[in-house]
Structure 1
Amino acid sequence: MSSESASEKEPKVEEQVVVEDVLRVYRPDVDTSGIDERKLLRRIDWHVVPWLSVLYLLNFLDRGNIGNAKLYHMTDDLHITDKQYLIALTVLFFPYALFEPPSNLALKRVRPSIWLSSIMLIWGIIMTLHGVVTNYAGLIAVRFFLGLAEAGLYPGVLFYLSCWYKRNELGTRVAIFFSAATVAGAFSGLLAAAIQNMDGIGGRPGWAWIFILEGLITVLCAIASYFILSDFPNTAKFLNETERVWVIRRLQADMKFSAGGEKFKMKYIRQSLTDWKAWLAMGIYMGLNEPLYAFSLFTPTIINQLGFQATAANLLSVPVYVWACIMTVVVGFLGDRAKTRAWINLGLFGSGIAGYIILICSTNPALSYFAVYLAAFSIYPTIPNTVAWVSSNIEGSYKRSVVIGMVIGWGNLNGAVSSNIYRATDAPRYRLGHGIVLAYIAIGWICSLGLYIHLRRENAAKARGERDEVIDGVYNERAREENGHFESIEAARTEKGDHWSGFRYSL
């Protein structure tokens, strides 16, 4: 029998995929035809995104308010040197980075409402303790434990969002969530300027009250979070059974096949560690996170060195963050609709390169202040765009949780560098600090280009059939044993995740 006649009798691969998808519909006994997609999606948005944004606002505020406190004589009162202050900033990043991947695994096994709320309660208590430290050793201790407690929130929320939304919906939601960081940047300056007026109350200096009051707010919100935060789609209490099934089906139709549930296997961790996409994404994120922390920790100081006093410097940082907030949401919206996250990354990184070149070369305060806006435009919108891009191209819930933890953990480990590059001896130009940030942004640009080329080549190889697996009962002359041998297409896509021949990467 010729290959032509055989192919006429055997179902084509594409047809078989459709057949198997129909046969393996998640919970086929449930009728979801009456679901109003737009109405339900809006309800999901209101239950999921706003409270997460509040949590991240507090997370970013508590992590970065030490930069505001420094302007109100914290280092003088604690009798610490500039070098000791930089070490205290650095200490936070090591537990923060290393605990992120295991925290995401814990989140997968424990309900988000319990895990995220608990770590928030712990870091809120630790934040209040910042206000009672009296020496360098105490500051080091509270910064270390703050990093340990805060580690799980950001990567956990990003993984959590990826479990709710389709690939072309994720960018906008991550951008809205992440915009809380820009609001925190603006709010921290206003809040610090107001709270420092409590100087002397209860025998505590103004900078101590910044930590105490902001920490107490976090504790109260953590307690509320136990009751407000929703869990994963298959157990979320604000959805009925039909709505839960609908959410999972639409995710699976978007190539998130593990949305219906997945058992943990050690191989998912091995897949994460050996995937080129993860390593390139780590390169992109280190090109973002070091500049992010440098920007958030030292923007008031940089503006202060342009000739403005402490309170004025804090207040002048507010419009910078307002601008960053607006652009973060705008770029997130455009990324979901244009579906060209790689080119958005390259353009934003390019604007960051221009901004820091200006900061290095400029001697004009007005021009330098403009460059700060350019830097904010580059750094903040690029982070949610990158997170959405990476999350969209990793299939398998456990693998995605580990990869997100790896990417963000590595980025935060590089954030330790940001604590040591803006030295007092380099004021007021801070050329060394700006130069190092510029180098990181260049790394992010290069890795973004590398990931785009890699994904494009993989999509082309899959389209040519070079990644086709051998499937029992399915005739496919392009199938290769080295790509795997499976009893069904369902088994192939479950086992291989985004490496399955039918999976297409988003560019």
Structure 2
Amino acid sequence: MAESQPTKSPSRSFRSFIWDTDTHLKSHEERVLLRKLDWSILTIGCLGFFMKYLDQGNLANAYVSGMQEDLRMFGNEYTYAQTAYTCAYAVMQVPSTLIVQKIRPSIWLACMEVAWGVFTFAQAGTHSSSQLYAFRFFVGFFESSFFPVLLYVLGSWYTKTELAKRVAIFHMTAPLGSAFGGYLQAAVYKSLDGAHGLSGWRWLYIVCGCMTVPVGLATFFFLPDTPYTTKSRFLTAKECELAIERVQKAGKAAPAGVTFATFKRVLSKWRCCMANPAKPAARLKSENYSVVDRNVIPTGSRLIMAFCVILWGFLSDYTGSRFALILIPLILGLIPNGILAVWPASVPLKEAAFLTSSIHLMTAVFYTWANEVCAGDNEERALVISSMNGMQYAVDAWLPIVIFPQTMAPSFRRGFPATFGFIIAAIIAVISIRLLLLREQKRNPEAPETSLEAGVVIEHDKTADSAGEADRATEKN
């Protein structure tokens, strides 16, 4: 008698379509594990990243809501405050992913998040530009660990058919945090400006600090660290074993420790060069918009970005493509950035360009690609994904002062043409990475599929029968 094939119920077919394409091939135990991981990692990751971008972006909201006048900020002092944050943020990117090889991510991130919440709160007491620079430096220093470490944790648990959409969901909260900051400042300004003798922008920092600290405390209790170091209270011993089995099957290397030999090994590979290839509020103030409008109007591009980022992540996992879904947005990005580089007389055309120039569709997919390309070396993966973000902020620490000085607003005659040129360079870089991967695959045919296009479901097809049998046994019980 022929063995019955795995059945796929309509509800499971629907979940496979909108969520993981191989849901119907997973055992009941694996699906339960994934639900637990999603509820813990994504919840903590999204809340923390939301607060990170809320606290990062509230400087712009405070600046256009009275801080400039109260602190007598002139010339490029606003840019200097941004630079103080960016310098500190860039410095700690790579060290943070090395530290969590020794200290559990839940402990490290909880401490960092509580600390940046305290310094966010402290900005409410700022009385000079120099004090603001110091507080922004410490906010950036403590915030710097969150993104690379959470990205490392996501890549440690999830497989090729699961990762991009979850990175996209995590990444989506960045523009949401920036957008919410505008609405929050508008609400705070209208309801609390002048309360207890404090300006509305000072209340913004108080509210943000009070929101951040509890999320940091929750991180300690709910983040499950990595499959090899987890001490999570909600994962059983069997689920921990299953998690390790999953990542081993996906070709992800176990931690091997960090030594000088690690740096030599990583720096000898081309992947260490896999860097991210890729100022509306001030302009609105120069055009005499109200305080509320200055905070609310720029949120448009951020909300569009949030929707597009998550759409692109789901599409990447569904199609199994990384390279194409990175390249297409870069090419399309030439249009709005070209418009801003020319700076036409048409205001509606410039508004449309501003709304679409910030839609970084490919960012989450690119970080997913990097996570998968380096899956065979745990320490390399940690260093590469942190150096990608660190390099971006290292450049941001000085480049805006040169090409986007506040004194050149709103047209930024150096900044927008330079951005257009950077996009062209990014297109060349992404194509070069693809060619290097193709060459590597030809030299080593045994290399994992992730070296070229991740997101395939072939590895799960081999276990379809056993998964189906497990499901039927569970249903009988």
Which residue number corresponds to residue 423 of structure 1?
405
Counterpart contact for 2:175–2:305, Cα < 8 Å: yes
Greater mean deviation of Cα atoms: 199-208 or 85-94: 199-208
Which residue is 1:346 aligned to? Answer: 327
Q: Is the 8 A contact 2:434 2:452 kept in 1?
A: no
| Residue equivalent to 1:209 | 203
Pair 1:278 & 2:272 matched: yes
State how far apart, in whole Å, the 2-side matches of 1:373 and 1:277 are.
33
Q: Is the 8 A contact 2:329 2:362 kept in 1?
A: yes
Match of 2:134 in 1: 141
The answer to whether residue 380 in structure 2 is matched with residue 384 in structure 1 is no
Alignment of 1:190-209 (within 5 A): 190-197=183-190, 198-209=192-203
Match 1:309 to one of 272, 285, 290: 290
Task: List gaps (5 residues or longer) in structure 1.
Answer: 1-32, 289-297, 464-500
Structure 2 partner of 1:227: 221
Please tell me the residue identity of whatever aligns with 2:314: F
| 1:455 aligns with one of 434, 437, 448 | 437
Residues 1:254 and 2:250 are matched in the alignment? yes
For residue 110 of structure 2, the aligned residue among 109, 114, 117 is 117
Separation in 2 of the partners of 1:274 and 1:51? 35
RMSD across aligned positions (CA)? 1.9
1:58-88 per-residue CA deviation (whole Å, 9 max, x = no partner) reads 0011011101111112122112222222112
1:306, distance to aligned residue in structure 2 (A): 6.0
In the superposition, relative to structure 1, how do residues 459 and 140 fare at CA in structure 2: closer, same or farther (>3 Å)? Answer: same
Task: State the match for 2:377 in structure 1.
Answer: 396
User: In the alignment, does 2:433 pair up with 1:446?
Assistant: no
For residues 287 and 69 of structure 2, the distance between their equivalents in structure 1, rounded to whole angstroms, comes to 22
Given candidates 259, 269, 281, the residue that maps to 2:263 is 269
Counterpart in 2 of 1:74? 67
Q: Shift of residue 228 of structure 1? A: 2.5
Give secondary structure in 1 for the equivalent of 2:158.
coil
Aligned equivalent of 2:419, options 434, 437, 446: 437
* C-alpha separation in 2, matches of 1:428 and 1:106: 41
Instruction: Give structure 1 regions of 4+ aligned residues with deviation exceeding 6 angstroms.
Output: none
Structure 2 letter corresponding to 1:192: Q
Shift of residue 116 of structure 1?
Answer: 0.5
Shift of 1:231: 2.1
SS of aligned partner of 2:251? coil
Aligned position for 2:177: 184
**Offset at residue 46 of structure 1 (A):** 1.4
Match of 2:93 in 1: 100
Alignment check: 8 A CA contact 1:389 1:506 kept: no
Cα deviations across residues 350-390 of structure 1 (Å, max 9, x unaligned)? 1222111112333222211211232132x2x2211110001
Distance (Å, rounded) in 1 between the aligned partners of 2:422 and 2:443: 31
Higher relative contact order (CA closer than 8 Å, sequence separation 6+): 2
Contact 1:113/1:231 (CA < 8 Å) preserved in 2? yes
Q: Cα distance 1:274–1:95, how it changes in 2: closer, same or farther (>3 A)? A: farther
1:445, 1:307 → 2: CA distance?
37
Find out whether 1:51 has 2:44 as its counterpart: yes
Conservation of the 8 A alpha-carbon contact between 1:345 and 1:445: no
Alignment match, 2:475: none
What amino acid is aligned across from residue 365 of structure 1 in structure 2? V
The aligned amino acid for 1:126 is F
Q: Deviations over 1:7-43 (max 9, x none)?
A: xxxxxxxxxxxxxxxxxxxxxxxxxx97533333223
The AA in structure 2 aligned to 1:446 is: I
State whether residues 171 and 364 of structure 2, in contact with CA within 8 Å, keep that contact through their aligned partners in structure 1.
Answer: yes
**TM-superposition CA deviations, 1:472-502 (whole Å, max 9, x none):** xxxxxxxxxxxxxxxxxxxxxxxxxxxxx54
Q: Which amino acid aligns with 1:506?
A: L
The yes-or-no answer on 1:506 pairing with 2:446 is: no
The TM-score with structure 2 as length reference comes to: 0.84
8 Å Cα contact 1:96-1:147 kept in structure 2: yes
Deviations 1:269-321 (A, max 9, x none): 22222221220x21xx1x43xxxxxxxxx232234456643322322223322
Partners of 2:406 and 2:129 lie apart in 1 by 18
Q: 2 CA distance for matches of 1:310 and 1:433?
A: 25
Q: Which of structures 1 and 2 has the bigger CA Rg?
A: 1
One-letter code of the match for 1:174?
Answer: V
Deviation at 1:131, TM superposition (A): 1.1
One-letter identity of the residue aligned with 1:409: G
Pairwise mapping of residues 28-67 of structure 1 onto structure 2 (< 5 A)?
A: 35-67=28-60
8 Å Cα contact 1:351-1:375 kept in structure 2 = no
CA separation of 1:302 and 1:271: change in aligned 2, threshold 3 A: farther
| Separation in 1, partners of 2:27, 2:328 | 42
Task: Spell out the pairing of 1:290-369 with structure 2 (5 A cutoff).
Answer: 298-305=279-286, 308-361=289-342, 362-369=344-351
- Deviation, 1:178, is 0.5
